[in-house]
Structure 1
Amino acid sequence: MIEPIAELRTGEKVRRSGSSPDRQSSGSDGSPELQRLSCASFNQDTTSLAVGGKNGYRLFSLSSVDRMDCIHQGVESPDVCVAERLFSSSLMVVVSRSAPFRMNIYHFKKGTEICNYSYSSNILAVKLNRQRLVVCLEEALYIHNIKDMKLLKSLLNTPPNPTGLCALSVSHSSSYLAYPGSVTAGEITLYDAVNLNEVTVISAHASHVAAISFNASGTSLATASEKGTVIRVFSVPDGDKLFEFRRGMKRYVSISSLSFSADAQFLCASSNTETVHIFRLEHHRPSQESPSWSGYMGKMFSAASTYLPSQVSDMMHQDRAFATVRLAAAGMKNISALSTIQKVPRLLVASLDGHLYIYNIDPQEGGDCPLVKKHRLYESADEGPAASELEVGSPSYAATVATSRNQDSPSSSSLTGYSEDGGAKRGELIPEHEFADGPLRLDDEQEFPPVSSQDT
Structure 2
Amino acid sequence: MATHSSSSPILCASFNQDYSCFVIGTRDGFRIFDTNTGRLCYERVLGAFIIVEMLFSSSLLAIVGAGEQPSLSPRRLCLFNTTTGAALRELNFLTSILAIRMNRKRLIVILQDKAYVYDLNSLTILDTIDTVPNIKGLCAFSPCLDACYLALPASTTKGSALLYNVMDHHLHCEIEAHRAPLAAMVLSSNGMYIATASEQGTMVRVYVVSDATKSFSFRRGSYPSTIYSLSFGPSKQLPDILAASSSSGSVHLFTLGFAAHQSRSRRPSGFLGSIMPGAVTEALDPADHHVLHNAVPAGVKSYAIIRKVENVTDTSTSEVLACRAIMSIITYNGYFQEYNISIDAQNELSWTLGREFNLLNVKALSS
The percent of aligned pairs where both chains have the same amino acid is: 30
Matched, 1:140 2:114: yes
- Separation in 1 of the partners of 2:24 and 2:18? 16
Displacement of 1:174:
2.2
- Separation in 2 of the partners of 1:333 and 1:316? 27
72 and 228 in structure 1: CA distance in 2 versus 1, 3 angstrom threshold = same
**Pairing 1:218-297 to 2, within 5 Å after superposition:** 218-249=191-222, 251-263=223-235, 264-281=239-256, 282-283=259-260, 284-285=263-264, 287=266
Displacement of 1:235:
0.5
- Separation in 1 of the partners of 2:350 and 2:7? 26
- Over the aligned positions, Cα root-mean-square deviation in angstroms equals 2.4
256 and 316 in structure 1: CA distance in 2 versus 1, 3 angstrom threshold = closer
**Contact in 2 for aligned 1:56/1:80 (Cα 8 Å):** yes
Task: Write the deviation string for residues 92-124 of structure 1: whole angstroms up to 9, x where unpaired.
Answer: 011111111111110111212111111111111
> Equivalent of 2:170, from 171, 184, 197?
197
**Contact in 2 for aligned 1:323/1:366 (Cα 8 Å):** no
**Pairing 1:367-406 to 2, within 5 Å after superposition:** 367-378=349-360, 386=361, 388-391=362-365, 394-395=366-367
Displacement of 1:286:
7.5
Displacement of 1:273:
1.1
Question: Which residue is equivalent to 1:349?
Answer: 329
- Separation in 2 of the partners of 1:260 and 1:85? 19
**Pairing 1:14-413 to 2, within 5 Å after superposition:** 35-64=8-37, 68-76=38-46, 78-98=47-67, 99-156=73-130, 158-249=131-222, 251-263=223-235, 264-281=239-256, 282-283=259-260, 284-285=263-264, 287=266, 320-340=288-308, 345-364=325-344, 365-378=347-360, 386=361, 388-391=362-365, 394-395=366-367
317 and 370 in structure 1: CA distance in 2 versus 1, 3 angstrom threshold = closer
Task: Write the deviation string for residues 119-153 of structure 1: whole angstroms up to 9, x where unpaired.
Answer: 11111110111121111111110101111211111
**Contact in 2 for aligned 1:212/1:224 (Cα 8 Å):** yes
Aligned letter for 1:253?
S
Unaligned runs of 5+ in 1: 1-32, 289-301, 306-312, 379-385, 396-456
Displacement of 1:224:
0.6
315 and 62 in structure 1: CA distance in 2 versus 1, 3 angstrom threshold = closer
Aligned letter for 1:252?
P
- Separation in 1 of the partners of 2:308 and 2:286? 27
- Separation in 2 of the partners of 1:43 and 1:354? 18
316 and 277 in structure 1: CA distance in 2 versus 1, 3 angstrom threshold = closer
34 and 97 in structure 1: CA distance in 2 versus 1, 3 angstrom threshold = closer
When normalised by structure 2's length, the TM-score is: 0.83
Displacement of 1:220:
0.5
Q: Quick one: higher RCO (CA 8 Å, sep 6+), 1 or 2?
A: 1
When normalised by structure 1's length, the TM-score is: 0.67
- Separation in 1 of the partners of 2:310 and 2:254? 22
Question: Which residue is equivalent to 2:317?
Answer: none
SS at structure 2 position matched to 1:199? strand
Displacement of 1:185:
1.5
**Contact in 1 for aligned 2:145/2:167 (Cα 8 Å):** no
Which of the two has higher C-alpha Rg?
A: 1
- Separation in 2 of the partners of 1:75 and 1:349? 24
- Separation in 2 of the partners of 1:50 and 1:171? 21
328 and 97 in structure 1: CA distance in 2 versus 1, 3 angstrom threshold = closer
240 and 342 in structure 1: CA distance in 2 versus 1, 3 angstrom threshold = closer
The answer to which structure has the higher strand fraction is 2
**Contact in 2 for aligned 1:323/1:368 (Cα 8 Å):** no
Q: What count of residue pairs does the alignment treat as equivalent?
A: 325
Task: Write the deviation string for residues 58-79 of structure 1: whole angstroms up to 9, x where unpaired.
Answer: 0000123xxx211111234x11
- Separation in 2 of the partners of 1:136 and 1:70? 29
Indicate the larger mover: 360-369 or 95-104: 360-369
Task: Write the deviation string for residues 235-293 of structure 1: whole angstroms up to 9, x where unpaired.
Answer: 112111011111111x21110110011121110000111110111003445748xxxxx
- Separation in 2 of the partners of 1:71 and 1:148? 28
Aligned letter for 2:49?
V
Displacement of 1:345:
2.4
Aligned letter for 2:228?
S
Displacement of 1:368:
4.4
Question: Which residue is equivalent to 2:316?
Answer: none
